Amino acid sequence: MPTFPEDLKYSAEHEWVRTGNASTVRVGITDYAAEQLGDIVYVSLPEVGTTVAAGDACGELDSTKSVSDVFAPVSGSVTAINDALDATPELLNSDPYGDGWLFEVEVDSDNDLDDLLDSDGYAELTERGD
């Protein structure tokens, strides 16, 4: 059964956002997304310095089942990527809310965060199968 930590915000595209470091947020995929994808074997992420827009595709995850886009849940500038995923993309399956994070973004506007779901809203979304 997927878990959805209450301290995170969620996008309808199955990314999570962790706040807490001023205007920089950490982004990853949810446990639900990792389960749906199956074993992730390759990760393509935006480069540090890239400007991303909320809702736009900015990377890809290749799994044994399919290739899926990674969508930016917020707009801003990429400040860090998780280099560990180059050698160990399976971290997305084994620890999606910890070591399996994708990238960090310096957010343009806190308003983007207001558009995201809380854990209850995201759980409802996944129960509907969206």
Question: What pLDDT does residue 21 have?
Answer: 77
CA distance 96 to 92: 5
Per-residue pLDDT of the chain (130 residues; tens, 9 = 90+): 678 999 999 999 999 999 987 899 999 999 999 999 999 999 999 999 999 999 999 999 999 989 999 999 999 999 999 999 999 999 999 999 999 999 999 999 877 888 999 999 999 999 976 5
Residue 117 lies in a domain: no
Number of domains in the chain: 1
| CATH code (residue 97) | 2.40.50.100
Beta bridge partners of 42: 62
Count other Cβ atoms within 10 Å, centred on residue 129.
Answer: 6
Residue 127 lies in a domain: no
What domain range includes position 92? 9-108
Question: What pLDDT does residue 1 have?
Answer: 65
Question: What pLDDT does residue 47 have?
Answer: 96
At 64, give phi and psi (nearest 5°): -70, -15
Residue 129 lies in a domain: no
CA distance 20 to 25: 7
Strands 67-71 and 40-44: unpaired
